[in-house]
Chain A
Amino acid sequence: MNQPVRVKTLKIDDRDVSGREDETILEVARQNGIFIPTLCNLEGLTPIGACRLCLVEIKGVSRLLPACVTRVEEGMEVYTQSERLQKYRRMVLELLFSERNHICSVCVVNGHCELQNMAQILGMTHVSVPYRFPRLPVDASHERFVVDHNRCILCTRCVRVCDEIEGAHTWDVMGRGIDSRVITDLSQPWGESETCTSCGKCVNVCPTGALFEKGKPVSERLKKRQFLPYLTMMREERR
């Protein structure tokens, strides 16, 4: 017999909501039409709480907790839109824009970029920290795809989709801190990768123009992410 699933009731932004005990604040908020911004999070991939955009305030907890990995609890009072949170979220975006060379006007996904969208949604009007202007390479050695490190925000969606869904684990991260960089295999050119199956999942889940397909007009470089929950569901069904 299946274990009964417990249901918790809680408040998000003073609204009474309910969620299963295995659901996160983010999931419950989305079910109720409450918007919490995210970048590293993508339905179908393991959440990692890295981008810090989904931080929320919880009454009685001094720390800010990421909604994407924090489970709901009975009687929890969650606040998602305080002035302080909005300020931090804008600063996260500003830091991301300053970190590499994100110049929207010359980017292949201009207009379809999650980072760009998020900046608009969260009201980021300018970047107040100095740009770092790193010199970063573009790897176009793969016959179909390109990785442009200038646009990468290290959300590791590509790493996770390749490992968790495709099962190839071609992608990973090397270096640390501000020198971190996504790599294919042991930092070899993507085109020489022996593990890459050229499935293109990484390209589709990438939120920015860091991973894109060659030979398509910009207007067609839309990313399709709907397949992930479907694939996950099918995999679970088979088990």
Chain B
Amino acid sequence: MSRLEKRPEPSRRMMLASPLIAAVAMLLTGSVMFFFLGQEPLHAFHVYFIKPWTTLYGVGELLLKATPLILCGVGLAIGFRANVANIGADGQLTVGAIAAGAVALYFDQVQAWWVLPLMLAAGALGGMLWAAIPALLRTRFNTSEILVSLMLVYVAYHLLSYLVHGPMRDPDGFNFPQSKMFGESATLPLLVEGLRVNAAFILSLVAAAAAWFFCKHTFAGYRMQVSGMAPAAALYAGFSEPRNVWLAFMVSGALAGVAGVGEVAGPLGQMQPSVSAGYGFAAIIVAYVGRLHPLGVVLSALLMSLLYIGGETAQIELQVPSAITGMFQGLLLFYLLAADLFIHYRFKPRKRHLPAVVGETA
């Protein structure tokens, strides 16, 4: 028997190790689950977690899926650092996609280089606009940004649904609820011919690098970090809370909006009733598993992307239900939170107060 003992100071080593522990625990749980689903665990494990890496196409898909997760995850991480809980990235992503889609459809006949940059700008603005609502209500009326940003996710879904059933619907599309396909100049260029990964991936890496610079080397980034870790100190230093809230929401809204552009101007190529496979929510896990650090986010986004792709591969090859992906995502976060215990605590063998009787524990 052992008991937990508080460490004199948080363990840096555990801080880096706990995401790895969580990932390993999740992979082990995955293998056990495959066993209960009647699969040969090692084979299933191989199909789910290894196979996507073995082909060039698979790697391309991994990077493609990681793109919106990095973009949303980096933005959310900046907010979470300052205790600003933006949970509505999926809504901001959706509105970003709507704004970009509106630009693409409006300039449908135009073949020009500026259409794509305009879409990106519109997407970023759309995401910021949607993020401005919870920021405004939190700073003006003290309303929980968690609940407001979440409610707006559902509003955004319905807005998109209205648009693809109505104003944005392709007139020649046999009444399918989707827009016409975007033209060449409204589609993101592919990175490698034959793969679906596109220029948005580069943007996501740039965003992660910029976020790293922001957190590490700017005063605003420092201010946000202090506010998150020591609110009282931040108050004493005169750091403005509203300014942090606004900054966090504007950055994460813009990045989520760009992620939305990446979807509609990338793999989808048109407006559809749903443009996100829950990336905004998965990005919450990505941010935490990435230790709220921009570079960590990139790595954890790749892991999360592997869960998506592996899920699809396993569904096709093993007839394992794809819903398993969502379970793995949730489990990963559970394990991370549990493993974080060891940052502040360590196991210590319990001292026996009575002399042990020989053979008692045999």
Q: Are A and B associated in one complex? A: no
Which residues does A use to contact B, with CB under 8 Å? none
Which residues does B use to contact A, with CB under 8 Å? none
